[in-house]
Amino acid sequence: MGYVKHKASIVLVMSVSLVFSLAIISCSSNEPATTPNIEATIAAAIANSYPTPVSTVSNDPVSIESEIALRVQATLSAQPAPVTIKGPDPVQLIAPTPRPGIVSDPIESIDINPTPTPTPIATATPAPTPTLTASQRMESMVDNIQVSVVGLNTSDRSGAGVIIETSSYDSSAIILTTHHIVEGAESVSVTSAENNTYIGRVIGADHRNNLALIHVCCGDFQAVRVGEEKDVTVGDKTLTIPTRDTVADGSQYYESIVEDVRFDFVRDIWVIRLDLPVTHSLAGSPVFTETGSFIGINGLRTDYEDTNHQMVGRAFNISIESISKAIPYLKSGIYTPTPISPLGPISHDSYYGWAYNQFHAGQYDSALENLKLALILDKDHVESYLYRGMTHEVQKNIGLAIADYDTAVMMDDRSTAGYKLRARFYYDHMSDYLEALKNYELAIKLNPL
């Protein structure tokens, strides 16, 4: 089929060329042109381009079909066979072995103004802080506390005190001590831990609870850390810290154990007794817990220098519970100096004071002896009967104890301490709860608080 088209194209081109040639010839001659039959010319050209078939076949239908088949076969055979272009065989590529690349060092920028390299300075390695032993830690704590302990002196007596408050406004301080140290005095000489001397003024004192406050100005004072009553229980370890110049053996502090905590109905105070021997040099000295909290003050009664009383027994202290309750009204200025009896060590106050010492120091026989002498000198002293009754009660002398309580109440029917002691006696020893209740009601009626 492609071959026929090719031949037809050639014939067509040739026909067109012939037509243009005749046109040119006709134009170049002067004779009138004869118009050609273009269609006939083209048809003749096409007919001449095909080979003249030789008829070898009859006119019957079978021969005609065979002729057609032969021509179709001839036409197909005349067409060129399609050429299959075969590509080259695939080439197996071998991956090249990677080679390490060459990395060039980055080019550093050149600083035209280089920073000079600082010269290292040799520093001394600090020495490790040594670990303090328990004894060293205790001594360090005592040193910090002892600056708050001061020495006190009057014309007749001496002892210690402790700074419980300071004021940054006027550099003043309030010192706590016991009543018997400042008894009969309006002013007191105060010596600090740095050996500086000040004149203090007694602003409040109460002989019943044996406490007093002193105001002093002006200096670099330091107050102690005040503890609470819950910090004191039997068996606890304590530290008694005297002033630096009053202890003969040079001790900074005395360690001791709490032996007893009891309530003194006569003086309305809580008393702590330690296993520390009683001594004159500890009068007014503060007592602290192992952690440095102030919990009491030594309540030993000092007396005249020419006294013949022998100091024996255990040290006792007024508890922080009673101190905390007493400080507010002591600050209000309740204090009237009372002259000391001219009888000195043979006065009722002296014997009664020593009986108070001996009772709380646990020396009950000695306390009874001094109370007997005190009552000879003043047979109407109610508190002497009450202390004697408490001493009998501790010694299990039940009949003598209730007799002294009854005597005290008959002598003073407004004695709150007398009714409280009788109520406790009936409750603890007689199991007479009705009588105990009646005495408690009388005590509450006299003192509702």
What are 422's two structure tokens?
């009788």
pLDDT range class, residue 1, cuts 50, 70, 90: low
139-340 placed in CATH 3.40.50.720:
no
For residue 314, the cross-strand partners are 277
DSSP assignment of 144-199, as one string? HHHTTEEEEE-SS-EEEEEEEEEETTTTEEEEEE-HHHHTT-SEEEEE-TTS-EEE
Q: Which long-range contacts (CB under 8 A, 24 or more apart) does 419-424 make?
A: 419/443, 419/446, 420/265, 421/265, 421/386, 421/389, 421/390, 424/265
Taking CA atoms, 29 is separated from 19, 21, 179, in Å, by: 16, 13, 173
pLDDT at 295 over 80: yes
pLDDT range class, residue 160, cuts 50, 70, 90: very high
pLDDT at 306 over 50: no
pLDDT range class, residue 342, cuts 50, 70, 90: low
Is the model more confident about 176 or about 14?
A: 176
pLDDT tens by residue, 218-254: 889 999 999 988 888 999 999 999 987 665 556 688 9
pLDDT at 369 over 80: yes
Is the model more confident about 80 or about 260?
A: 260
pLDDT tens by residue, 212-226: 999 999 889 999 999
Q: 368: closest CA among 347, 348, 350, 389?
A: 389
pLDDT at position 149? 95
343-449 CATH choice from 1.25.40.10, 1.10.8.60, 1.10.630.10, 3.40.50.720: 1.25.40.10
CB 419 within 8 A of CB 439: yes
pLDDT tens by residue, 254-263: 999 999 999 9
